[in-house]
Amino acid sequence: MPPKQQGKSKADLAKKQKVVEDKTFGLKNKNKSKNVQKYVQNLQQSVQPKADPSKVAAKKKKEEEKAREKELNDLFKIAVTQPKVPPGVDPKSIVCEFFKAGQCTKGFKCKFSHDLNVQRKGEKIDIYSDKRDQETMEDWDQETLEKVVESKKTEYNQNKPTEIVCKHFLEAVEKKQYGWFWVCPNGGKDCHYRHALPPGYVLKSQMKALLEEESEKITIEEEIENQRSKTTSSTPMTTELFMQWKTKKMEEREVSLAAQRADRAKNDRMSGRELFLSDASLFVDDAEAYEAYHREEPEDTEQKGKDDTTAAGPSGTASAAADSEDILLDDDDDDDELNMDELNELEASLSRTSIQIQEPEQKMDSMRFLYSKGVLSCSSDAPPITTFLESLPGSYTTTRTHENGTTLLFWERHLKRLSNSTRILLNSNPELIFKTNKKSPLLFSPFPVTALKWESRIRSLVSNSLSQVLPIALKERSKGEELAVTALVSGDIEKLKAMKNVGGGGDDDDDKGVFQVLDLHLHIGSYIPPVFGIEESGAHLALVGHGRDLADAKYSDWVRLRKPLEKLRPPSVTELLLSNDGDRILEGCITNFFVICQRDKSEAEGKYLDGYNNVYSVEVQTAPVSDGVLPGVIRQLVIEVCHSKGIPVCEVAPSWEKHRLWEEAFVTNSLRVLQHVETIKVPQPWESLKSKCFEGISWIEKKFEGPGIITKVIQKEIMERASTESHPLNESI
């Protein structure tokens, strides 16, 4: 029978194999002769049965096909990664990613599931999102694609998507029938109503449980009373009891620390500080230890040491003096005397060091220049800008350089403003131009100054002075600094008294006569512009006083008039706001004030859209010039930019009563250009400003979160105009 024959052949094969092993024992490993190895191989082949050539060829062909298929898969397969299994999760509940891509070769041995429905079985359906929103073109077949293309032809004749929730969907959710296999009775996937609950929607089945839960809640007052009733102590807490408790705790802490220190000392685990405090005699230097270590420098580093001494300033002097003193002490200890050459060298080094001290002190002072009546004063001789404006009457304007000292910001506009301010003061308030003696005041009558040729004469007066001092200031300017330029036109009372007749002729003679009694004073100082957009560079405002009386012209006496307001300035406030009634904000002491306020729907003329990002939902507000506001150069630029960009702007004083509608705020002047506002403080009540200092005032504060969208747009446009409207300093001014 075949099984027996097979068993018999196996037994014979085993016997033959045993005979071969006996004959080749010790020959395979010990003897390396080729003849011996050939003899061993012949014996083994005689025992092994000959393989069927057809089976060998089939097996070889099958292996080649597998190798070819593996090579193609390696070339064209998709990169697949299997996510890690979270702790405590059964791998069979996760679908094999390689199986999804048709690349899993492990078969039933794979620890991940090969059932594509496993994920749907374990995952709950989301009732707050519509499954149809997640469909993309990747999931479409040819029929779906043709259907969509056909529907595009009649798109405008069909109903548009709606936000209304499908009633069948709501009913299925309420009855807990909604799931993966639920189909809408209203056309299935073609139902044009939403199959998702809106955010925050509460089902009727859940409402009952929520109401019961709310009814069971107790108020915070009841909770406090319940906890208070559980307390057993009836001793009231007083200051004396608290101090006794604190003293007791401090004593217990000291006792605990002392016990810990004693334990460390007993076990030789004391720190270095504790050892020194317990016995300072343990810390004694060796007899050969140096009092100070002196490095021996090579000769080529001597010059470097001198440069370091120069840069050190006053500290370098102190260290040099200390080093020289150490040298003298060391020489005394060695009983040596300095020879004359060493003394001369030491004296020269000390004198050299003392000279180098003075240079940094001079650079620490703010760089200032004052050009007045043909005399140029520098730094220490030139007063600060506030002192300069307080000492001289007159009209003035201030601007600064731009783009690293290469241009003057909006120079033409500033010259025109200076000309108008001077003409207005001469026509209406000449006492603000001329400085008179209080004991014998001089009575003025208005000067009939016309605008004809007046601006050109002011320009020539300013240009002559500026050409004398500006080149020097630009050379002394530090890197990264700009120059603040203030031009002040003041009247000379002595020249006015000496003149017999001012304004006796025609218009041209009138202007020329007035022009002869005017002097121009030019003040230039260093200025570092604030960086726009960062939190630290924002303005902090406080409403503290009434508006100015004469705002059409910019005059220096305002510096003196606003001084009493400084007593009401709260800490960290950078600018003071003005208002006549405590509600309508006019401007700042040195800035113009703007807010971006939400508009009413009725004011938007049908263009209103909900949302702050829509330009028609807000408007820029600033007080009009007629309310007593200085017509600043940058103020006018902001209004022009708003008109050009289509941003609604309204010249009306911002009302504090509507401050909740304020989205943004910023201030403008010629130096800061445009600075966003971070906080605004307003006194409550308004009458509390009669207090002599800010401590007696209660403040209400409004905060803004950095520069807003509209502020950034306006600031960017103004800086772009600054590049085109500024005057290059390489040209004649």
Alpha carbons 169 and 184: distance in angstroms, whole number: 7
Instruction: Please say whether the dihedral angle defined by the alpha carbons of residues 101, 105, 109 and 111, taken in this order, is positive or negative.
Output: negative
Instruction: Identify the three-state secondary structure at position 377.
Output: strand
Is pLDDT of 631 > 60?
A: yes
* Residues 6+ away with beta carbon under 8 Å from 665: 541, 593, 594, 595, 596, 676, 677, 680, 704
What does each C-alpha distance from 575 to 450, 538, 680, 706 come to in angstroms? 36, 11, 10, 17
Share of the chain above pLDDT 70, in %: 71
548-585 pLDDT, tens digit each: 888 889 999 888 888 888 888 888 899 999 999 889 99
Q: Could you tell me the end-to-end alpha-carbon distance of the chain, in angstroms, rounded to an integer?
A: 125
Alpha carbons 1 and 32: distance in angstroms, whole number: 45
∠ at Cα 516 (525, 558), nearest 5°?
45
Q: Distance from CA of residue 383 to its chain's centroid?
A: 36
The residue with greater pLDDT, 52 or 32, is: 52
* Residues 6+ away with beta carbon under 8 Å from 408: 399, 400, 401, 402, 414, 485, 726, 727, 729, 733
The radius of gyration of the chain's CA atoms, rounded to the nearest angstrom, is: 47
437-459 pLDDT, tens digit each: 655 555 555 565 555 567 788 88
Q: Longest C-alpha distance within the chain, in Å?
A: 156
Alpha carbons 267 and 277: distance in angstroms, whole number: 17
Amino acid at 38: K
Mean pLDDT over residues 84-106, rounded? 84
At residue 542, the pLDDT reads 93
DSSP of 230-272, one letter per residue? H----PPP-HHHHHHHHHHHHHHHHHHHHHHHHHHHHTT---H
What is the band of 256 on the pLDDT scale with cuts at 50, 70, 90? very high
The residue with greater pLDDT, 358 or 539, is: 539
What is the band of 488 on the pLDDT scale with cuts at 50, 70, 90? very high
> What angle do helix axes 2-23 and 34-47 make, rounded to 10 degrees?
170
> What angle do helix axes 411-428 and 454-476 make, rounded to 10 degrees?
130
Amino acid at 204: K
Nearest 10 degrees: Cα torsion 55, 60, 64, 65? 10
658-689 pLDDT, tens digit each: 999 999 999 999 998 999 999 999 988 888 77
Alpha carbons 628 and 651: distance in angstroms, whole number: 12
Where are the strands (E) in 600-698, listed by range? 618-622, 649-651, 662-669, 673-683
Is residue 533 within 8 Å of 572, Cβ to Cβ?
A: no
Strand partners, 377: 370
What does each C-alpha distance from 358 to 308, 351, 478 come to in angstroms? 16, 12, 18
Alpha carbons 433 and 392: distance in angstroms, whole number: 9
The residue with greater pLDDT, 442 or 697, is: 697
Mean pLDDT over residues 598-606, rounded? 55
Alpha carbons 470 and 421: distance in angstroms, whole number: 23
**Which of 273-282, 461-470, 639-648 is the least confident region?**
273-282
487 phi and psi angles, rounded to 5 deg: -110, 125
Instruction: Identify the three-state secondary structure at position 314.
Output: helix
* Residues 6+ away with beta carbon under 8 Å from 437: none
Tokens matching residue 609: 């859209």
What does each C-alpha distance from 206 to 6, 201, 434 come to in angstroms? 77, 10, 83
Alpha carbons 300 and 449: distance in angstroms, whole number: 72
What does each C-alpha distance from 504 to 397, 425, 512, 663 come to in angstroms? 30, 19, 11, 56
Instruction: Identify the three-state secondary structure at position 69.
Output: helix
141-154 pLDDT, tens digit each: 556 655 654 564 45
At residue 619, the pLDDT reads 92
Is pLDDT of 358 > 50?
A: no
At residue 360, the pLDDT reads 34
DSSP-H helix ranges across 439-506: 454-476, 493-498
DSSP of 581-625, one letter per residue? SSSBEEEESSSEEEEEEEPPGGGGTT---SSTTSGGGEEEEE--G
pLDDT winner (highest mean) among 10-14, 163-167, 208-212, 599-603:
163-167
Tokens matching residue 403: 């783009």
Amino acid at 331: D
537 phi and psi angles, rounded to 5 deg: -95, 5
> Which of the 8 DSSP states describes residue 336?
-
At residue 10, the pLDDT reads 73
Alpha carbons 386 and 398: distance in angstroms, whole number: 12
Alpha carbons 41 and 53: distance in angstroms, whole number: 21
What is the band of 52 on the pLDDT scale with cuts at 50, 70, 90? confident
∠ at Cα 374 (372, 375), nearest 5°?
70
Is pLDDT of 716 > 70?
A: yes
DSSP of 393-456, one letter per residue? -SEEEEEEEETTTTEETTHHHHHHHHHHHHHHHHHH-GGGTB---SSSPPP-------STTHHH
Is pLDDT of 654 > 90?
A: yes
Tokens matching residue 5: 């024959």
The owner of tokens 């400084």 is: 566
Alpha carbons 480 and 405: distance in angstroms, whole number: 9
Is pLDDT of 308 > 50?
A: no
